[in-house]
Amino acid sequence: MKRRLWLIPLTILAVFLDCFVFPAISKSGVRPLCVMSLALAATAETKVQDGILLSVFCGLLTDLFCNPYLGLSAAAYLIAVCIEYGFVKNRGAKRLRVLFGALAASTAAEAVILLFSLIIGARFNALGLLTVTLPSIVLETLLVLPLCLWLHTEEKGGPAFR
């Protein structure tokens, strides 16, 4: 428990970035979901329980601060963590598996959010999908690797991606 206390300030920073910083600086709508990227990195590098806890708790915090639907982000992040765990379980965290898992997980989370918005009556916007959602997925995927490197050095020390 003591070893993972350093995750607390990092999760607070991720929620702050997701809710307050990126919406203010991104005029086009392209922004990574830092909380989800952190949860994916925690799943790949520490334990799946850390990723699940981060995805649910921080997803609820994100929804509380900046989304009108409580639980939507938490559900999307939890699905993403499950997909990432499927890619890295029992095989160690190799760079390529982590990247492909993060890409699949980010795509699934964004698809859940898109599907929910379509269910509640939003119109499908193909241009928005290409210009906002796909770049956001790429940013979320690319953010996972540096977070994995940092988490690995904090958790175990030494070189990452054994």
Q: What are the sequence ranges of the domains in the chain?
A: 33-155
Q: How far is CA 133 from CA 114, 128, 159, in A?
A: 9, 7, 33
Mean pLDDT along residues 68-80: 93
> Which of residues 5 and 73 earns the better pLDDT score?
73
pLDDT of residue 29: 82
Please, where are the H alpha helices in 22-133?
22-25, 34-45, 48-66, 72-88, 95-119, 126-128
Q: For the packed helices 72-88 and 34-45, what is the interaxial angle rounded to 10 degrees?
A: 30
Lowest mean pLDDT among 34-43, 79-88, 153-162: 153-162
Mean pLDDT along residues 38-63: 91
**What residue has token string 């999760």?**
11
d(CA 127, CA 23): 20
Q: How far is CA 99 from CA 9, 29, 50, 55, 105, in A?
A: 25, 23, 19, 18, 10
> Which of residues 46 and 156 earns the better pLDDT score?
46
Say whether pLDDT at 61 is over 80.
Answer: yes
Mean pLDDT along residues 76-102: 88
Among candidate residues 17, 8, 9, the one with its CA nearest the CA of residue 35: 17
d(CA 127, CA 131): 6
What is the model's pTM?
Answer: 0.89
- Phi–psi pair at 118, nearest 5 degrees: -70, -35
Say whether pLDDT at 161 is over 60.
Answer: no
Long-range contacts of 22-29 (CB under 8 A, 24+ apart): 23/66, 28/131, 28/132, 29/128, 29/132
Contact 36, 106 (CB under 8 A): yes
* Displacement of CA 3 from its chain's centroid (Å): 22
Residue pLDDT, tens place only, 97-153:
899 999 999 999 999 998 998 898 888 888 888 888 899 999 999 999 999 888 877
